[in-house]
């Protein structure tokens, strides 16, 4: 166990003062980095592109030509490899 410096309380100590007891400990942890949720902007955009590309008459040229065969390869709502290490 260690104590971090406390903003505004420079003399704070991790040592429990004599006569006091420890009744509870609260831990706060945030999940690591994850892929966007399935209803997020990137996923919705991918669904729109897929829908458009599936229809006849969808035509793209030039710099956007890749959209005709593009697929969304990210997962959804799962930890990224880095996110698994962040925990």
Domain boundaries of the chain, sorted by first residue: 41-86
User: pLDDT digit of tens for each residue in the chain (87 aa)?
Assistant: 455 666 677 777 777 778 888 888 887 777 788 888 888 888 888 888 888 888 878 888 999 898 888 888 887 888 888 888 876
pTM: 0.47
What is the C-alpha separation between 80 and 76, in angstroms, rounded? 10
Q: What is the dihedral angle through the alpha carbons of 32, 33, 39, 44, rounded to the nearest 10 degrees?
A: -170
Looking at the annotation, which residues are catalytic?
31
What is the C-alpha separation between 78 and 36, in angstroms, rounded? 8
């Amino acid at each position: 166990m260690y104590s971090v410096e406390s903003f505004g309380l420079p003399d704070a100590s991790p040592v429990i003062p004599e006569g006091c007891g420890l009744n509870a400990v609260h831990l706060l942890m945030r999940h690591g980095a994850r892929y966007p949720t399935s209803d997020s902007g990137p996923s919705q955009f991918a669904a729109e592109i897929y829908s458009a590309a599936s229809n006849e008459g969808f035509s793209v040229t030039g710099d956007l030509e890749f959209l005709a065969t593009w697929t969304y390869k990210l997962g959804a709502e799962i930890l990224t490899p880095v996110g698994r290490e962040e925990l």
